[in-house]
Amino acid sequence: RFYNSLKKLGVMQKTGVEIDGEPSPYFKNPADKKATIVNRWGGTTVPWVSHGYELSMTPLQILNVYNAIANDGKLMKPFLTKEIIKEGETIKQVKPIVLKNQIASPSTVLKVKELLKAVVESGTASKLKVDNISYSGKTGTTKINYWKPNTKEYNASFAGYFPSENPVYSMIVVVYNPKGSFYGAQVAGPVF
């Protein structure tokens, strides 16, 4: 059920952004009986995936999920420009493309919005509040090669959108293997 819910969410597909080389997201499949031991679904897969481990997504693919939450559940194809102008004339207009009208029920999307705002109001990013603007998001701290003992490499991230009430902008900041501090709230959050 967990795997199928992620599939319905739309996170297992490429965004389709017009940048060559976008990899497909990777999620372990519980039905894959030929998976190697590293790729095999196990008893800890659900909690690990819930924390962002045992899967692979690009920062843009992750940000696209945040955009869907900001858009009240509507998953859009990312695009880089609204129009292409040559010698003062518009030669191409790019229209928004909806990938999925509703990634979750409106009540679930609203709960996620409340949780993302609470991260900034009273959670792991509460020290990063900014006067006169509200934002919503989530800190992330990922241990690289977590299955290897005694490794001390991390990625720090913060993904979100602002203003919280009527989002206009979204952003993800990922700092790969930061030195010193490595928590998302301490390293990537201030950049956001």
- From first to last of the 192 residues of the chain, give the pLDDT tens digit: 999 999 988 899 999 998 899 999 999 999 998 988 888 999 999 999 988 888 999 999 999 999 999 999 999 999 888 999 999 999 999 999 999 999 999 999 999 999 999 999 999 999 999 889 999 999 999 988 877 888 889 999 999 999 999 999 999 999 999 999 999 999 999 999
Q: Evaluate if pTM is beyond 0.85.
A: yes
Are the C-beta atoms of 28 and 39 separated by less than 8 Å?
yes
Cα separation of 18 and 13, whole Å? Answer: 14
**Residue 144 near residue 153, CB atoms below 8 Å:** yes
